[in-house]
Structure 1
Amino acid sequence: MKHARLVSQRAWIALCVAAGLACSIFLLSGMPKEGNELAAGGALQTSLRRHQVILRPQPSLTQRSADIPLVIYEQYHDVSCHPHLHTGNLLYRGLNQAAGQLRHTDDVDVPAFFEIGNDAYYQNLLCEFTGILAVANVLSQVHPHRWIGFQSWKATEKQRALTSASEEAILAAIAKPEYADAVFFWANGGVRDHGWGDGIQDFYGQCDSVHIYCSLVYERTFELLFGGRLADAGYRGPPPMPVDGGSFIFMSYFVMRSAALQEYAQLVKAFFVTLDRMYFHAHRDGQFCILAHGKGVPEPEVPAAKEYESLHCYCYLLERLINIWAYHSGRRMLHVNVDTGEITEQHPVEQRDTWRHVFQGEALSRALSAFESELRRRSEASVLWSRLSR
């Protein structure tokens, strides 16, 4: 009987190596748990983690030539999203964020190699940043292009997808040296995005109105993330953002230099880990989200708006974080009209009041390195950082 069970287990392991992560999960839940040392739950999980590289297929380089300057990743999470994605257009590549929903083999399959993408709790809190962080982690493996962009599968449905005119405008602009470190965006929270008139123009005012305590959470998170660096530089409150008539980036509809994505992703990870340190037990155990009061989601679209906001609590901060990073790091912020391709600069660099001592040059890199070093003394936070980084 023991011999038969051992043969069966070896057969399952061989099948898992061929089939990848999905089968390994089945193995964990369905194999016999007695009669063999490997089948003991803890030992088996340890063994699978040790052979993670074998069990999880790594993402591959696209067939697109490295001479193509830009590829935009279209994020999706369900087969029902497939009709909304581009096909046969080398400017776009699919980015699948849910297990078993891959459209075709050229798409990047995040759950196959990004472990935290299979964790339902954190997947709901990261939303589309699961895909952004996953791509940033393996950028040299999947993306040989100088520029990178992201666009949700919802873009076509919401009538905010790039048109041929706006695609051509972006491609022409990124060829010019004056735009070398710019961030292009085409969703600004306006009518097409969320029904907010001409778009988000008061960064903290708008966020506080739809997500209560938004500016306070930004303030607390950056205080914990940067530590004494803020006080040393005389910075107080949340990072200042202008009310100058210009609009801001809304959600993940943007193009930037590929090298810039890695810096941005490091900040996103540090910010997310800090949020988790502050609110993990209140959110996971108490189902309490400090931002949720039901105004951030239209009721007809999501009937239980407050519960929906709580489920995706940190997403609303993450999707706006790019503005703080781009503004304070001195990057040009350029809005692209999706219909005409017209590009207009928002918040001119020379007019900004920035926290340059923590965001510009090597300052941000040093701050994030110090943050990571501090995490090593905090086991739980260090584990989450590691999960976001592999």
Structure 2
Amino acid sequence: MIHITGILNVSLGECSLLQIEWIIFTIYLGLVFSRGVLLERWFQCATSPWRFKINKVSLSVKAEEALERTILAETEGDVIYYWARLALESRVTEGNNILTFWSICDILNGGHCRAAFEEAFRRMYGLPSHIEALPPMPEDGGHWSALHCWVMPTPSFMEFVMFSRIFVDSLDSLGNNLNKTTTCLLGLSELEKKHCYCRILELLVNVWAYHSARKMVYIDPHSGSLEEQHPIEERKGIMWTKYFNSTLLKSTDEDLAEAADDKDHPRERWLWPLTGEVHWQGIYEREREERYRQKMDKKLKTKDKLLRRQKHGYSQKTLGL
């Protein structure tokens, strides 16, 4: 057993490559805390207590009030606000190369982030080997989100979860080729390698938000000042919007749900059905047919009961003496 963030005990005996990471990820997604309109219209994720001190990334009262005022005032468009950022500034690698989004992702994931992400993305969309499958992330000096410290409109959040479920299933499928190895390629520390843990999901929201054309705004956790990052106008020609289209994601989600409902699993160890609810049009139709059948059965029983009364009259059981 391993105790994860003081919230959940998880048995690791039969966990797949990313089940532990997904469990932690969904714990964050379940920690909703906000006030008033935030609770109704926005979804806010919590922090990662085992990585950094919470007081370094939690919002001050001043920043929280500024965020709430901004959300109340700006009701148009999809915006993601975040207040914990990747520390890219003033850090260099061994060759004096300035860190980029993907290079720091490599550092956080045993040096294999880019390779794993690219292969998972390729499998996710069935891309041939000659097609580029690693979404470009610009080196424009802007901040990137870290530690799941962000807030976004609930519809956007639901779309992000849909994308995440599909991606993490594809990423998990890479582990089918690692069953005979003794080391998890995405682990950084010995503990992470032992339990095959990775931090790709921590950075996934950046890739999704950037390439799905969401406005990205960094809020200083102390002062509450807001600054847009990676302006959408500057992303034109860089974004891979066709892969992050909500219609495509919904279609893929429905295909996976149909396969799960039909017990047509693509592999023996399939993570996707374990990451959330399984719904597709066929389930709704089956449930509607079942309700209709129950309704007709009830009508038939009522009709039979009336016919018996008309034929034999109303009878009441004799009361006991």
- CA displacement 1:54-86 (0-9 Å, x = unmatched): xxxxxxxxxxxxxxxxxxxxxx832xxxxxxxx
Q: Does 2:269 correspond to 1:269?
A: no
- Looking at structure 1, the residues matched to 194 and 29 of structure 2 have their Cα atoms a distance apart, in angstroms, of 20
Closer, same or farther: CA 187–312 of 1 in aligned 2, 3 Å: farther
Match of 1:186 among 74, 83, 86: 83
**Aligned residue number for residue 288 of structure 1:** 183
Amino acid at match of 2:85: N
The Cα shift of 1:276 comes to 1.6
Match of 1:217 among 110, 113, 116: 116
Q: Does 2:68 correspond to 1:171?
A: yes
TM-score normalized with structure 2 length: 0.68
The Cα shift of 1:329 comes to 0.6
Larger RCO (alpha carbons 8 Å, 6+ apart):
2
Match of 1:126 among 12, 22, 31: 22
The Cα shift of 1:243 comes to 0.7
- CA displacement 1:16-73 (0-9 Å, x = unmatched): xxxxxxxxxxxxxxxxxxxxxxxxxxxxxxxxxxxxxxxxxxxxxxxxxxxxxxxxxx
**Aligned residue number for residue 207 of structure 1:** 105
Please state whether the residue corresponding to 2:132 is helix, strand or coil.
coil
**Aligned residue number for residue 95 of structure 2:** none
5+ residue gaps, structure 2, are 33-37, 93-97, 278-321
**Aligned residue number for residue 326 of structure 1:** 209
**Aligned residue number for residue 146 of structure 1:** 41
**Aligned residue number for residue 256 of structure 1:** 152
Q: Does 2:125 correspond to 1:226?
A: yes
Q: Does 2:242 correspond to 1:357?
A: yes
Amino acid at match of 2:78: D
Say whether the 8 Å CA contact 2:86–2:145 is kept in structure 1. yes
Say whether the 8 Å CA contact 1:224–1:274 is kept in structure 2. yes
**Aligned residue number for residue 271 of structure 2:** 384
**Aligned residue number for residue 240 of structure 1:** 136
Say whether the 8 Å CA contact 1:329–1:356 is kept in structure 2. yes
Please state whether the residue corresponding to 1:242 is helix, strand or coil.
coil
Please state whether the residue corresponding to 1:183 is helix, strand or coil.
strand
- Looking at structure 1, the residues matched to 197 and 123 of structure 2 have their Cα atoms a distance apart, in angstroms, of 16
Say whether the 8 Å CA contact 1:179–1:332 is kept in structure 2. no
The Cα shift of 1:119 comes to 5.9
Closer, same or farther: CA 312–159 of 1 in aligned 2, 3 Å: farther
Amino acid at match of 2:276: S
Aligned CA RMSD, in angstroms, stands at 3.3
- CA displacement 1:344-375 (0-9 Å, x = unmatched): 11100111111111213423323443455566
Larger Rg: 2
Q: Map 1:92-131 to 2 at 5 A.
A: 97-99=7-9, 121=15, 124-126=20-22, 128-131=24-27
- Percent identity at matched positions? 26
- Looking at structure 2, the residues matched to 288 and 195 of structure 1 have their Cα atoms a distance apart, in angstroms, of 32
Say whether the 8 Å CA contact 1:128–1:252 is kept in structure 2. no
Amino acid at match of 1:172: R
- Looking at structure 2, the residues matched to 349 and 163 of structure 1 have their Cα atoms a distance apart, in angstroms, of 28
Match of 1:366 among 236, 248, 251: 251
- Looking at structure 1, the residues matched to 240 and 54 of structure 2 have their Cα atoms a distance apart, in angstroms, of 38
Aligned residues: 254
**Aligned residue number for residue 5 of structure 2:** 77
The Cα shift of 1:164 comes to 0.7
- Looking at structure 2, the residues matched to 196 and 178 of structure 1 have their Cα atoms a distance apart, in angstroms, of 37
- Looking at structure 2, the residues matched to 327 and 222 of structure 1 have their Cα atoms a distance apart, in angstroms, of 15
Please state whether the residue corresponding to 2:56 is helix, strand or coil.
coil
Closer, same or farther: CA 266–135 of 1 in aligned 2, 3 Å: farther
- CA displacement 1:200-223 (0-9 Å, x = unmatched): 972112222443121111111011
Amino acid at match of 2:68: L
Please state whether the residue corresponding to 1:315 is helix, strand or coil.
coil
- Looking at structure 1, the residues matched to 223 and 113 of structure 2 have their Cα atoms a distance apart, in angstroms, of 34
Please state whether the residue corresponding to 1:278 is helix, strand or coil.
helix
Q: Does 2:221 correspond to 1:344?
A: no
Closer, same or farther: CA 344–264 of 1 in aligned 2, 3 Å: same
**Aligned residue number for residue 29 of structure 1:** none
Closer, same or farther: CA 381–371 of 1 in aligned 2, 3 Å: farther
Q: Does 2:200 correspond to 1:317?
A: yes
The Cα shift of 1:287 comes to 3.5
Say whether the 8 Å CA contact 1:201–1:245 is kept in structure 2. no
Please state whether the residue corresponding to 2:192 is helix, strand or coil.
helix
Say whether the 8 Å CA contact 2:82–2:217 is kept in structure 1. yes
Say whether the 8 Å CA contact 2:78–2:152 is kept in structure 1. yes
